């Protein structure tokens, strides 16, 4: 039984008020940040702000990726497993990755901390040491593309004859940056973290390909275009963030004692902040309810995903002939788009500008589709089903299906929500932009049942027939 961590959580960025001076919502949010209470809060914090930022940055540098901070982070046996599958193509070959693991946790380098406590925000920008990822690969390659010689620019290293159709793959990410911000709130005698956008970006990728049963040295080459690199960065973000959040929260609890900093003013600051956040949460709940109603009316809560087709011709040595094989994912539908709700962990913050951020999640998402396999000797049709229930994703499918859904669902959900939010604009709100991202978190399980193309997929309904 293999574990799979993934939770659909669309992050709204720059969800700001901008419809006009008569907007009640706009006026109330702006009034908080223009009040004497806010100015007083900020004045008290600014006295020792820099020393706290330095202390927290140093704590992250010394403890991230190490045991420390008196923090116990509960981890499963495969906590560094970042995905069950991932599919990509370089226009020469198609490659499916399976069982993708972070080999070891990187360390933070040169952290830059901006802690605007009065403005409800903590921002971090830091370098990461080399990130190493391991997986198995399965390649879909035409025998006609196999060429001798070392890979040249714009040529696939998977096309070399010493690279087998399956084997081990190491992905090396250099010069990565860990960036993002978190909403902060006064809680008890310290500070709590809420909604966050921490992510890995700006990595430079290379790969090392090792084939099963081959004694040749691994093939090493730069790899992944910009779009594919961003998808890999999203996968890396999951374990990086799981290590960061508890260590950062521990640092806040260790160094920030709000009673000592604000004295008798603490209760006043905390009450007014809670009042603001409660008002924003109620407002966003109303908006998501309108989105759900609009989705139900327009799409009946269902939307189509793009199909995927992979075709290749391999040389069968035993039969001394070429054999053409086609795998297709078709009729893929996404259900449950009308189950959106707010995470209630965001609010208003002010860094470069005044913004509102919140996590939007789906209570239930189901993906249904058909998996077709066609070769010279066999034609099969399988039905696969994936169900995501709030924080768990229980699925049974192979690396190709998992990889395609990982790529597609993120884009489709983001585009759908952006469209629905624009449809729900009224005199109170204006959506400037939405961050196109799905935050990986939560826990579920993937049941692995064999080699690609020859395994049970979802609630399997298998029947022999020709392709439509």
Percent of the chain with pLDDT over 90: 37
Confidence of residue 424 (pLDDT cuts 50, 70, 90): low
Confidence of residue 14 (pLDDT cuts 50, 70, 90): very low
Give the CA-trace dihedral at 222, 223, 225, 226, to 10 degrees: -70
Rg (CA), the chain: 25
pLDDT in tens, 191-244: 999 999 999 999 999 999 998 766 778 899 999 999 899 989 988 998 999 899
- Any idea which of 2-16, 48-62, 90-104, 274-288 has the lowest mean pLDDT? 2-16
Confidence of residue 342 (pLDDT cuts 50, 70, 90): confident
Query: At residue 274, does pLDDT exceed 90?
Result: yes
What pLDDT is attached to residue 297?
Answer: 82
What pLDDT is attached to residue 443?
Answer: 35
Nearest to 117 by CA among 190, 169, 25: 190
Q: Which residue has the higher pLDDT, 250 or 147?
A: 250
What pLDDT is attached to residue 277?
Answer: 95
- Structure-token pair, residue 260: 């000592």
What pLDDT is attached to residue 467?
Answer: 29
User: How far is residue 237's CA from residue 440's CA, in Å, rounded to a whole number?
Assistant: 8
What pLDDT is attached to residue 405?
Answer: 65
CA-to-CA dists, residue 143 to 87, 123, 163, 311, angstroms: 20, 50, 12, 12
Residue found by looking up tokens 């080699």 in the block: 451
Residues 298-319, mean pLDDT to the nearest whole number: 76
Nearest to 349 by CA among 29, 125, 50: 29
Residues 71-75, mean pLDDT to the nearest whole number: 63
């Amino acid at each position: 039984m293999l574990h799979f961590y993934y939770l659909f959580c669309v992050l709204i960025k720059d969800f700001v008020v901008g419809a006009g001076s008569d907007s009640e919502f706009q006026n109330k949010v702006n009034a908080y940040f223009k009040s004497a209470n806010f100015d007083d809060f900020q004045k008290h914090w600014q006295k020792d702000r820099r020393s706290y930022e330095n202390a927290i940055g140093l704590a992250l540098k010394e403890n991230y990726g190490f045991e420390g901070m008196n923090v116990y982070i509960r981890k499963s046996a495969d906590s560094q497993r970042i995905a069950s599958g991932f599919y990509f193509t370089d226009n020469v070959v198609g490659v499916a990755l399976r069982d993708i693991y972070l080999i070891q946790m990187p360390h933070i380098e040169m952290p830059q901390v901006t802690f605007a406590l009065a403005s409800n925000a903590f921002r971090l920008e830091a370098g990461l040491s080399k990130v190493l990822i391991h997986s198995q690969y399965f390649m879909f390659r035409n025998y006609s593309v196999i060429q001798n010689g070392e890979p040249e620019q714009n040529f696939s290293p998977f096309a070399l004859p010493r690279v087998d159709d399956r084997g081990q793959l190491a992905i090396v990410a250099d010069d990565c940056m860990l960036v993002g911000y978190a909403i902060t709130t006064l809680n008890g005698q310290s500070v709590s973290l809420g909604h966050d956008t921490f992510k890995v970006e700006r990595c430079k990728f290379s790969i090392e390909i090792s084939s099963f049963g081959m004694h040749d040295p691994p093939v090493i080459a730069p790899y992944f275009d910009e779009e594919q690199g961003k998808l890999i960065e999203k996968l890396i973000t999951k374990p990086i963030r799981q290590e960061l959040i508890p260590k950062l929260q521990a640092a806040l609890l260790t160094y920030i004692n709000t009673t000592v900093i604000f004295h008798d003013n603490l209760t006043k600051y905390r009450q007014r902040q809670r009042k603001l956040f409660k008002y924003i949460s109620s407002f966003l709940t109303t908006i998501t309810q309108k989105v759900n109603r609009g989705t139900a009316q327009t799409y009946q809560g269902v939307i189509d995903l793009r199909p995927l087709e992979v075709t290749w011709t391999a040389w069968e040595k035993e039969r001394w002939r070429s054999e053409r094989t086609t795998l297709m994912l078709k009729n893929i539908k996404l259900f449950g788009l009308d189950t959106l709700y707010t995470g209630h962990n965001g609010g208003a913050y002010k860094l470069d500008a005044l913004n509102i951020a919140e996590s939007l999640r789906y209570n239930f998402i189901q993906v249904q589709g058909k998996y077709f396999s066609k070769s010279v000797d066999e034609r099969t049709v399988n039905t696969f089903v994936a169900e995501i229930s709030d924080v768990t994703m229980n699925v049974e499918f192979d690396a190709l299906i998992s990889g395609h859904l990982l790529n597609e669902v993120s884009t489709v959900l983001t585009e759908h929500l952006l469209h629905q939010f624009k449809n729900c604009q009224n005199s109170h709100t204006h959506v400037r932009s939405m961050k196109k991202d799905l935050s990986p978190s939560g826990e579920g399980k993937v049941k692995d049942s064999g080699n690609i193309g020859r395994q049970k997929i979802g609630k399997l309904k298998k029947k022999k027939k020709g392709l439509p």
